[in-house]
Amino acid sequence: MMNTDRPLLEVNDLHAWYGESHVLHGIGFQANKGEIVTLLGRNGAGKSTTLRSIIGLQKQRQGQVLVNGSETVHMQARSVARMGVGYCPETRGILAGLSVTENLVLPPRWNAGGFSLEQLYEWFPNLWERRHSQGTKLSGGEQQMLAIARILRTGASIILLDEPTEGLAPVIVKQIGKVISGLRENGYTVVLVEQNLHFAGALADRHFVVEQGRVVDQVAGADFHQELDKLNGYLAV
């Protein structure tokens, strides 16, 4: 049973390295059930490394990552996924040589609540239309939807999305936004790494600004527009 007295995901004093390069310097943030939070910052700030560290793909890491109150920082990625965490990398991670349907039936349903194939096609009608197409023949937007759908198949309740709108046309970005909003409405927790401030501002409940592997500021979603100049300043090159 979930402990409702604490955030669903807690990251405390998290450090990570690539070889001798110290990338995360004690990053910390929280995300509650049914909440969308963003990690904002310049390229190289450590946002993607944070997601990799949460899911367990970043081998050199230390600190604390709690999923529903349970420590996961020393677990392998497969074990973290079994705890209900799903990860969609910037590269999307679909199996390009397989059809849409084959991509969707391969992921194991590790937790209760994993979507059936029929439910996934209801959520993503574009994928139903392309169900026999190979991943190589999908548009960027269709690949992104397929990557998110694969996570929902597993029963994950925490979804980590790394730059889901990068390189997509505005009309597709809008569709992705509707999907992410729908996840929140259905009780999912989303941690979103995003460079598109307009997209992030329309979705997130809270924004965490990352610089040099640390969270240096936090802005509530309700305050996004009045804090926009400050956020643009953080992201300016």
pLDDT tens digits, one per residue of 107-132: 888 877 889 999 999 999 999 999 99
Angle in degrees, CA 200, 171, 94, rounded to 5: 75
172 in a domain, yes or no?
yes
CA distances in angstroms from 140 to 43, 52, 165, 194, listed in the order given: 21, 22, 9, 16
3 in a domain, yes or no?
no
Strands, E assignment, 52-125 = 61-67, 70-71, 85-88
Q: What are phi and psi of 133, to 5 degrees?
A: -85, 145
What residue numbers bound the domain in which 63 lies? 9-235
77 in a domain, yes or no?
yes
2 in a domain, yes or no?
no
Q: Tell me, what CATH number does 199's domain have?
A: 3.40.50.300
For the chain, the domain total comes to 1
Q: Is the pTM of this model over 0.85?
A: yes
Question: What percent of the chain is predicted at pLDDT more than 90?
Answer: 79
4 in a domain, yes or no?
no
90 in a domain, yes or no?
yes
155 in a domain, yes or no?
yes
CA distances in angstroms from 2 to 45, 74, 137, 184, 234, listed in the order given: 32, 21, 41, 17, 36
205 in a domain, yes or no?
yes
Per-residue pLDDT of 72-108, as tens digits, reads 999 999 999 999 999 999 888 898 899 999 999 988 8
